[in-house]
Amino acid sequence: MSAGIPPQVIAAVLGAALLHATWNALVKARGSADAPADPQPAAILVVLGGALTSALLLPFMAAPLPASWPFIAASSATQCAYYLLLIEAYRHGDMSHAYPLMRGSAPLLVALANGPLTGETLRPGQWLAMCLICGGVLAMGLARAPQTAGTQRSATMFALLTACVIALYTMIDGAGVRRSGAPAAYTMWIFLLTGLVLTAWTARRRRRALIDAARARPLLLPVGGVSTVASYGIALWAMTLAPVAAIAALRETSILFATGIAALFLRERIGRARLLAVFLIACGAVAMRLA
């Protein structure tokens, strides 16, 4: 996978994967045993940070071509749904449970949806990847977790719904970015619009919780915002220097980073069954990208 890819590009993409796992961990930060942390204010602050970062960068970029604006609007709406589902997934379950399901299942769903849309059939490597991901999802569902069975089912449901939305905006952006003539600006506009919509919606409903979270965790907005924009921007830059499939596969190492962060910093209990599930999903996601 790394043949022909400069070492600095590999290091940058691995760093981007770590940044993606990091901002998710900031959203899923632990609270007390009696009062678990609410992921919604944290997620909205991260999204707002991404919007502000984008607003600072956009004046220095060429505007996307008019043909791409319907895709920017559709992607922004879809990403609003993504963040709302992400919040529910983390509200009901562990990061080490939800994150691999969300990020690992999305490439599978894109491959399955791509067939009816383009007439392509799954290649042998994609069938192998599908078996690995499905096996990992099944193992994740069977793995024992500290949540109650009902809560774990809810976490699984929201994580898989989030994966569906990731697959949807991936296909929207795949078509839209080719029409934009300015991939970086295309992405920044999506960050900006998504952040503005979600922040306005949350401020009307939960303004006090948003203010309290910003005061309690003042670094969340800048660190989370820069992390989410940088993780995507680095990958976009890397895809101009190396094969897209190889970069996409390297990005899936975020599943492993997220699991390690969940164990070390969020103190989540990760048994052997969950580790096996994470390993299968990560291998399947990488294989799907490379197939």
Band (144; pLDDT cuts 50, 70, 90): low
User: How many other CB atoms are found less than 10 A from the CB of residue 196?
Assistant: 17
Contacts of 166 (CB under 8 A, 6+ apart): 82, 102, 103, 106, 109
pLDDT on residue 34: 46
- Residue 92, CA atoms < 13 Å, CB-side half-sphere: 19
The CA-atom distances, in angstroms, between 88 and each of 28, 92, 147 are 11, 6, 14
Q: Residue 223: which pLDDT band, with cuts at 50, 70 and 90?
A: very high
How far apart, in whole angstroms, are the C-alpha atoms of residue 139 and residue 274?
A: 7
Phi, psi for residue 271 in degrees, rounded to 5: -80, 180
Q: How far apart are CA 53 and CA 48, in angstroms?
A: 9
pLDDT at 149: 52
Contacts of 31 (CB under 8 A, 6+ apart): 37, 38
Q: pTM value?
A: 0.89
pLDDT digits (tens, 9 = 90+) for 176-188: 988 999 999 999 9
pLDDT tens track for 21-53:
999 999 998 765 444 678 999 999 999 999 999
Average pLDDT, the chain: 87
Query: Which has more confidence, 250 or 138?
Result: 250
Q: Which residue has the higher pLDDT, 148 or 120?
A: 120
- Alpha carbon 231 to its chain centroid, in Å, reads 10
CB-based contact 160:109 (threshold 8 Å): no
Least confident span in 46-50, 80-84, 235-239, 278-282: 235-239
